[in-house]
Amino acid sequence: MRVLVTGASGLVGRALCAALQSAGHQVMRGGRHAQGPGAVVTGELGPDCAWFDGIACPDVIVHLAARVHQMNEDPSQAETRHRIANTEGTMALAQRAAARGVRRFVFLSSVKVNGEGRTSPYRADDPPAPVDAYGRSKAAAEAGLLALAAGSAMEIVIIRPPLVYGPGVGGNFLALMRWLRCGVPLPLATLTGNRRSLVGVDNLVSLIVLCLTHPAAAGRVWMASDGEDVSTAGLLRRLAVALGVPARLWPLPVGVLRMGAALAGKSAMVQRLCSTLTVDIGPTCEQLEWHPPLTLDQGLLRCAQAAGKSADI
């Protein structure tokens, strides 16, 4: 098949393009500054993106490109910018795809559509309850895509992952790896009661590839994860094993940790470290006959090995 992958230069996009090429598909790489064979230069995400200018129509589109959360952004601007990129940009691409006869549109959404702050696992059939601009923009895109599918021949598949990690990961996950590698004592030993779902990029790519053709995938929302939830302290200890270093964790009462984070302007980061956010992938596994090919420990090891070969940590 001809598969257009938007956001092809990102963490998920790089791994997905490699997997699709290995499977014999013709890959069209979409991005703001795409280069090389099959490159589709789109410019900034939004309703005016030049998705199909001068290229053959793909059979399937995997839409990974998105505007993600920006630290220290004015909330009033964030709402508008996320809507333009993630909602209006997605819908413009999908409408053009439907008009051109694209068979299936796979949209990488986010667990942020479900919300935050709940201790029980989030499910695909939960009512959307996003709490930030990014989550609201993804929820609006989901609703628009499903409405579009009802009036066209194009099939829509929506996948909601939690935090994605893997070779080339950045952000807070990379920061944790750096701290562990450098032997920084971390005051997180008391964070054993929370639970977090994660998904390794290899597992997520496996699910995306399956959703390109699986007949049961169309018209549905699917949750993704590694199939194992872990506490913050547990994750750090297992990541340390993958890195081949000791986990230098020491106990600090959670209340004191939150107070220190507030004084340092790191409340949002510490909130994520302390809170629970899990997803239920039971329906994904049962109805798509899918199982994460790598365990959590295998995914962490691949992530650590890749980081060890680069200048990231």
Measured CA to CA in angstroms, residue 73 lies from 43, 188, 208 at distances of 22, 28, 31
Instruction: Name the catalytic one among 105, 122, 134, 165.
Output: 134
Question: Which residue stretches of the chain are H helix?
Answer: 11-22, 75-82, 89-100, 133-150, 171-182, 201-211, 232-243, 254-264, 267-274, 282-287, 296-308
122 is an active site residue: no
**Contact assessment for residue 28 and residue 55, using Cβ atoms and an 8 Å cutoff:** yes
| DSSP 3-state of 163 | strand
Coil, helix or strand for 60?
A: strand
Is residue 285 helix, strand or coil? helix
Closest CA to 270 of 175, 201, 200: 175
DSSP of 124-154:
TTSPP---SHHHHHHHHHHHHHHHHHHTSS-
Task: Provide the β-strand partners of residue 3.
Answer: 27, 60
Other C-beta atoms lying within 10 Å of the C-beta of residue 250: 10
Which residues are tagged catalytic?
134
